[in-house]
Structure 1
Amino acid sequence: MRTTHRTRIAALCLALVALLIAPQAALAALEDRPAQGSLSSSTNPWVPGDKDIEWRYVWGNSMYPDLNVSNAPADDSTIFGATTGFYYLFDQNPLSIPPVGGPNVTSDSEGTLRLKGVDVAGVIRTTGWTPVQGAVQPGEGFWWMHIRFFNAFRAAESSSTSHVRLGIDLTAPGSPENLVGGVVAGVPALTWTEANRRILTWTPKAYDALSGVGGFQASVNGDVADLDFLENAAPTAPYEWWQPLFGPPSTLPQASTLTIENLPNGVSTVGVKTIDRATNESTPSVVTAWVDSDTPSITVLAPVGVTVPSKTTLTAQASDGAGVSSVRYYVDGRYVGAGSLPPYAVAVNLSSFANGTHTLKAVATDMIGATTQPMIRPHTAEMSTTFVLDKMPPTLSSTAFTVNPIYPRVRDGYRDYTYVKFSGSGYTT
């Protein structure tokens, strides 16, 4: 987040004679312009939807923060040159003054003032670390970058030092508790529904004791579905600039609901995780969503328009976006069996039916199935076809034996290589 700081450097008016006599004492006048410190870090991702923010509301999760300074105070003199750099000091004291001659940064070839990677761990080893409320790991809490600009001839007055605050939070926030996913807020949907939306609710509480909650992220089967920073996008001053006298930021109102639309048909895992202001993420809390918002289809595969014996197998092809729970078969309206896995095969004995033509109906039921609740669309599909039943056993009217004319042999009284021919009537296989 870009924070504006005003740098005031007193201008001294010197006579030209004095300049000629003692040029080493000449001080260039620095124009009173604000200096901006943009805090960023390679481990601190961009905030989605706002590419101008890296360090969200002063907080980040890197022990090596960068400092980029733009709009540095300019020199209004045409003689002595512009601002060329700044001295800096990094500590936990909000009012420290960088010493002249101490660590410093000078402009690069593009005129940018950039401090790359402050070693916070090194500072801790040198000066120690004072934890604040909510801090868990060494280095967590508020730090200050003190900036004192200079040009080729002098440094700014100590009173014109800019103090840039940043917070370090390395600890993940807590996961949302008591997560519920329902068609109606707060009522869990524990079975199949036509509705492909879920209202996610969880307990509103303090999930991060240091930087505070920045938002909540919802996912469907591992893919990000929604990111909500709306509740805390424009926080009040105590929330954005927390100090101990204001109390921890987690005491302020936090989001506790998200709505996910257009869930896919089938069984989905819906997760919600907490993201704190330093962009640390919690382990997601998850619920299961069962959605079936379409109508199944079915095609009878067998038997279709053929003659079958008493014992035969019925098969069908059925599909549905959420899945098919069963295919039920009826012969002339009488239930004869059901299958639950493709090709939904059922072996039947039709001996109780008369010879002749019969109607076969197959009914596919999706995951919602029959219900007494009002539905927007049907959740069964059916197809009917006909077949001919022939229960008459074959009758044998004649047989004929023919010896192999090429290799006739007799072994132990039996003929080898003989052909037997039958003729008769009735269903044969």
Structure 2
Amino acid sequence: MTTLRPARLRPTDLARIGTAGLRARPARAILAALGIAIGIATMVTVVGISASSQEKLLRQLDELGTNLLRVSPGDSLFGDSVKLPENAAAMVKRLDGVTNAGQTADTGTTVRRNDLIPDGISLGITVQAADLDLLATLDGKVRHGTWLNAATERQPVVVLGAVAAERLGLVIPRGQVWIGNRWFTVIGVLEKMPLAEEIERSALMGFPAAKEYLDHDGHPTTVYERSTDAAVEGVRAMLARTVSPESPNEAKVSRPSDALKAKAAAAGAFTGLMLGLGAVALLVGGVGVANTMVVAVLERRREIGLRRSFGATRGQIRDQFLVEALLLSLFGGGAGVLLGSLATFGYAQLNTLPTVVPMWAFGGGLGMTVVIGALAGIYPALRAARVPPTVALAAQ
């Protein structure tokens, strides 16, 4: 006697049967897939926004360069404040590989719109003396007006950083500001300087003017140096010894671009938290898929019984419901990837960011939906496979 083996279902057969089950109840399928879509969309959006923000900062860093170094005075062995020499920038320029150097000095005074505003209200703006090479060293640009020159550096005039101009309400050069009990004329407003944000919040005048009108001693508080890319590390090793030969440990050397790199890293600092929230949403979506499939098993007992009566094996019934769960999750995952990409694009356009969605976010999102679908479909599929055909038919 020949025993007939049940026919094996091909992948195309399983896909057709699985989609038929979803098409029979479209509203329920859409609602179940929506939970998966929200979770995947959240995760793709978080990754995309983080990657876009980082890309903007890295592009900005490439434009500004990483060859800018900054020297500032430290503390002596006894904790006393120290001063850099008046000609610190000139000393730095003598180093091999240095292309330019400029310096500033905090005058310790405040700037106000007029003489009626109390002296204690500074708006977070500092008044600094600056030499003529500062703007070129920082690769800065003048938005309105002009920069200091050999004539104006001796006059009671100032150039405002971008933030300082906004806070004083002088986004274009006009009028005067009150500094050190006298009026100073505003002759220029600078563009933003991401590598020297302290300059953005400053009112800048020439060193000769600071000495004459504010009794400044002429010692700089910060020296900025620009060198060739190949010479950066060598120059960095020599800077402290150059500006403070007797006590090099009393000079602090830093690279402003490191702050931008840290900022780029911080752009992804909340990614883990937000991905966790997305994972929770995805888990909720997986529970929704599992619930939908369990209800489907209960509602389709007659279908299961008929298929078993016509020779369908437990394995085929199990595979049918498992494929339905996988397809349901994949539909939700595909929609989530699309929605997440669109959300990233919209956010990037509104915030003038480059749109970047890593490829691994697409693959990871779809991969997670397959895992969630498999996990969510295992129990309902096994439950469907265990239903005897006679019990299923009798229940109707």
TM over 0.5: no
| Greater RCO, 1 or 2 (C-alpha within 8 Å, sep 6+) | 2
Whichever structure has more strand as a proportion of its residues is: 1
**Structure of higher CA gyration radius:** 1
Whichever structure has more helix as a proportion of its residues is: 2
TM-score, length-scaled by structure 1: 0.21
